[in-house]
Structure 1
């Protein structure tokens, strides 16, 4: 498990430290006292330090992002929870149902997800659940159990999840197009091309290049080979960047809608045997 660099007094003692050695470590700044019973090494994760110093632990979308889950929105906000005590300050995230005890400086995925269910909008929660399933942390049935105490409307969102999605941007495009009743197939195998993120209608391929994906000369070259092969077979390919989906969606959506309105996403009549 990834080391956060934040430890409790009990953990220090269990690893052989004494009250005197902890005091010396604080004095020479190899340890920083965050609050009563909690300490951080000089290499500790800054997000975890802030959450603990604030009086809680890293949770909600921040804990999910920390654990490698694709989370939409800003990454610089720190989400924390206060533990079993009820928060009346508004500084902490909360979950549906009773608060849970703290087991470490960063919440595990189930607790973090239950808190994120109150912070994320519907699209954001589906995107996160797609990522959790895709990374094989939990199955859809597991997620239904984890979110068992959430309102019916929240649990119903699990029916829109697709764990085959390779990135959050892919999930976002799928959800937005289906919300407009545009037919979308995901992770489609096309001979001589390979697996593509989405196919709209018959022949409009949409590839979503996530923020950290499709970089490097080798990947770039292979993507262009696939695009050429798809064109030879009669497909139209739209390759969307992270910014196209997250920051410029209105413009991007209009391009897709124009292709659909002109029925260019369907095979011409002479190709309907495909």
Structure 2
């Protein structure tokens, strides 16, 4: 008879599982006591156990009285979440023994039972709707769709208990966005009434992040650190080609979007005010666009 294998349930919980999960996987009380004695597992709180390799944020959430949820769970699931805070977002029942000072999140609608150490994506997102501002919600949903984790119809279900103002943000989401900073830039410009198209395929240039008006291309770095020298050179060659075709090109770094947006925005708005973005291209290259 094969020995029960608990690795799958522990891996699914990033190294943390409840006694209920372990028992359903075939673990006996005797095996649990042995695991605790030899250090294979340790008790975080009553009924919850962790391996030595367990993710530290999950350990913190469960030891704190709940399970990992909201922004922390989204980050662990590889969703692009704005900000760099190391705050651990926890979901717990109202009657739970909570660690003082920990961040406990709520959601729109009735809370789910705490079954796993890390909330599934839909539950984590429902809680994030109360922790994020409008821009953050759009950025996160863009990332979720781009990664193929949820479809627009799935998102509508997640949002159904939220206020109408929050539900309307789904109309501003775009799963084609290739980075959180691209989503941020698009959201901010559209909030200023600027018409922006995402992931536009320009003959001779390729796909660019954003196009404003007829000819203003905005390329946005998705990461805080620079790409390779080869990619840098390739990007500049694309820019040169675009300029030769009559386009204006603005490249924004991660830092400019996240930390210096007012200056970046003013550069864009100056071109828009002077209607530089609407000047015609070569007839064979012109893009169809609505005036802003």
Please report the TM-score for the alignment, with normalisation by the length of structure 2: 0.86
Q: Identify the range of structure 1 (231-240 vs 12-21) with the bigger mean alpha-carbon deviation.
A: 12-21
Q: Deviations over 1:147-169 (max 9, x none)?
A: 11111111111111111111111
1:1-274 matches, within 5 Å, as 4-83=14-93, 85=95, 91-211=103-223, 215-267=227-279, 274=286
RMSD: 2.4
Q: Deviations over 1:199-223 (max 9, x none)?
A: 1111111111111687223322321
Q: Deviations over 1:200-250 (max 9, x none)?
A: 111111111111687223322321221111111111111111111111111
Q: Deviation of residue 97 (structure 1)?
A: 1.6
CA distance in 1, matches of 2:42, 2:132: 33
* Contact kept in structure 2, 1:71 and 1:127, CA below 8 Å: yes
CA distance in 1, matches of 2:158, 2:96: 21
Aligned residues: 273
CA distance in 2, matches of 1:96, 1:201: 38
Q: Identify the range of structure 1 (207-216 vs 41-50) with the bigger mean alpha-carbon deviation.
A: 207-216
Q: Deviations over 1:158-184 (max 9, x none)?
A: 111111111111111111111111121
Q: Deviation of residue 75 (structure 1)?
A: 4.1
CA distance in 2, matches of 1:3, 1:81: 15
Secondary structure of 1:250's aligned partner: helix
Unaligned runs of 5+ in 1: none
* Contact kept in structure 1, 2:212 and 2:277, CA below 8 Å: yes
| Cα pair distance change 1:169/1:114, threshold 3 Å | same
* Contact kept in structure 1, 2:65 and 2:96, CA below 8 Å: no
Q: Deviations over 1:100-152 (max 9, x none)?
A: 11221111111111111111111111111111111112221221112111111
* Contact kept in structure 1, 2:13 and 2:118, CA below 8 Å: no
Q: Deviation of residue 11 (structure 1)?
A: 3.3
Q: Identify the range of structure 1 (256-265 vs 159-168) with the bigger mean alpha-carbon deviation.
A: 256-265
* Contact kept in structure 1, 2:246 and 2:282, CA below 8 Å: no
* Contact kept in structure 1, 2:245 and 2:282, CA below 8 Å: no
CA distance in 1, matches of 2:97, 2:222: 36
Please report the TM-score for the alignment, with normalisation by the length of structure 1: 0.91
CA distance in 2, matches of 1:11, 1:99: 20
* Contact kept in structure 2, 1:32 and 1:41, CA below 8 Å: yes
Q: Deviation of residue 19 (structure 1)?
A: 3.2
Q: Deviation of residue 188 (structure 1)?
A: 0.7
CA distance in 1, matches of 2:165, 2:171: 11
CA distance in 2, matches of 1:211, 1:46: 24
CA distance in 2, matches of 1:195, 1:265: 18
